[in-house]
Amino acid sequence: MEMKFCQSCGMPVTEELYGTEQDGGKNGRYCLYCYKDGAFTSDCTMEEMADFCAPIEVKDGRSSTVEEAKEKLMAHFATLERWKEKA
């Protein structure tokens, strides 16, 4: 199966984690934490999203410091659809 990533926060999404549309349909581009009932759950900037996710990366051992994690996240986020559109 093809691995999909949420185009907002970058986390891997499986069908049960898909975001939802207003009509109850699924949106496979985003996860349910980012996109719910046809809209983004929080209107944050790419940097705010990185600030939010960085401590999780450190906790899970993917980065050793928050600064390092944030740098990696920002680079990753810049390739995602939600943030690409704004650039």
Counting Cα atoms < 13 Å in the Cβ hemisphere of 19 gives 24
Contact at 8 Å (CB) between 9 and 33? yes
Smallest distance, Å, CB 63 to Zn ion? Answer: 19
Does residue 46 bind Zn ion (CB under 5 A)? Answer: no
Q: Which part of the chain contacts Zn ion (CB under 5 A), choosing from 2-10, 21-29, 41-49, 75-83?
A: 2-10
Does residue 34 bind Zn ion (CB under 5 A)? Answer: yes
Does residue 7 bind Zn ion (CB under 5 A)? Answer: no
Q: Which of 18, 29, 31, 82 binds Zn ion (CB under 5 A)?
A: 31
Q: Which part of the chain contacts Zn ion (CB under 5 A), choosing from 1-9, 39-47, 48-56, 69-77?
A: 1-9
Smallest distance, Å, CB 11 to Zn ion? Answer: 6
Query: d(Cα 85, Cα 1) in Å, to the nearest integer?
Result: 27
Residue closest to 70 by CA, chosen among 87, 47, 86: 47
Phi, psi of 25 (to 5 degrees): -70, 170
